[in-house]
Structure 1
Amino acid sequence: MPVQAPNDEEKRDPVLFAGRVRTLMAEALDIPVTDHTYEDCRLMISAGQLTLPMEAGLVEFTKISRKLKLDWDGIRKHLDEYAAIASSSKGGRIGIEEFAEYLKLPVSDVLRQLFTLFDRNHDGSIDFREYVIGLAVLCNPANTEEIIQVAFKLFDLDEDGYITEDEFSTILQASLGVPDLDVSGLFKEIAQGDSISYEEFKSFALKHPEYARIFTTYLDLQAGYVFSLPEQGQAAPSITSNKVSPENHNGGPSDKKDD
């Protein structure tokens, strides 16, 4: 590779010159150019301390923080969450079993569809970069105060301001399409007593935004069914398998992936 000299513009902007030289070097070596920075090195060290492979911390911090409006503290916090899920897996990546275990839910069609939304390259696992993007793009936008309030009212079938385990079980069985789903473990994690208050529900939802996708999917299907109901005097439509009910196994998220 020939020696490179900066032009007039690059003399005024050394970063511009460095970028051009880097691109030329990558082309000469036939390797890709990445945007790894000092923060990526810090994340690699943190990943190693969390017993993850050090390369798990390589997320191209500058690019991802700019696009997703995340700061260092936010991404570092996500690394702790990711490590807690992936700690039992080989290679430090999240598989469908680890994903289900973390959410305390069975592997179902709905859960597989949610997992696929995170698994952007369709290799059957979620790496840390995919996890961060999934939370920022798929889950956090759906985890608003309004959605949490609507979801709580949905679970509170008798409208007494609390969610019993039976109510909790009924809605989760319907939204996941798993009639015999045992939710006792998840219920006890949220409730401090025999029922779930709104504050307990909200606190859990904010800490676990992954559930927001499941709730919003259920709400969308419920709304779709309501709007499909006939006006007075018209025949009612049959409820097909894509409508949510305890017997339905087919509802699920369907958002396209978007960087």
Structure 2
Amino acid sequence: MDITKLINSELEYYQPIIETASKVNNENLTVWRNETVQQRQERISLECYDLLKGQVSYGPFKGLKLNKDTWWGKLDLGSMLLGLYEKEILDIISNIKQDEYSNFIDIGAADGYYACGILNSKKINNAICFEQSQKGQEVIHQNWINNGSLGSLTIYGEANLQSLEKLSEEDVQNALVLIDIEGFEFELLTTEVLAVLKNCTIIIEIHNWADDFINKYRTLLMNAAKHFKIEPLKPVDRSCFNYPELRHFTDDNRALLISERRPCLMRFIKLTPL
């Protein structure tokens, strides 16, 4: 390699690193050394948000705009923008063919990251969200507007047997369903609800800290097996080493950026209609 090109390339590599270091003063260092882990994660997540201008830069939701003033996931904004958050689910979405599913049903929709992301990707043109928080419902709708109001979005409150039975036959025919409701999946997914969703592909995040978890999980799997093939999803590695936007981050901060703060290596299961 020509030495001049090599020097220029190396200077270009180090430029953002040196620029960042030049802005650090003793006051910054004092504050950072006294941060809690949560405070640091929020700080670097928002720093990543600013670097990427609030737009997802990688993965199936590339181009999706996220609101900095979130209701639910401020600490996860950075990994969402990098296409690394819950990558087990993102990898499934990446492999979906356009119009493979008639609808996307998001139970526990939070800020609407998945619903708005899927509509923005145009892989599925109709999204139905269940989010019991009024604030969450408002944020979902605003995020949809911020991204051009693509496709069709319907937002309901709590998901239960009664609200799911109100969905039309077309809504639950060949839909992709995502369920993340912090341990209440065991109360929701009764035999009756599973029968309502029997023609859907369902991805469930399993929360093992629920009371009487073993018995509840065993019952869920037994009931689901009547209508579905059950597949535990393998954990997916996440790495920040090849993102040029992060080369000025410390090793600790890069690792913390992709932490999802889970108490253990958690499990997603995928249910496919028999």
TM over 0.5: no
User: TM-score, normalising length from structure 2?
Assistant: 0.26
Which one has the largest radius of gyration? 1
Greater helix fraction, Structure 1 or Structure 2:
1
Q: TM-score with structure 1 length normalisation?
A: 0.27
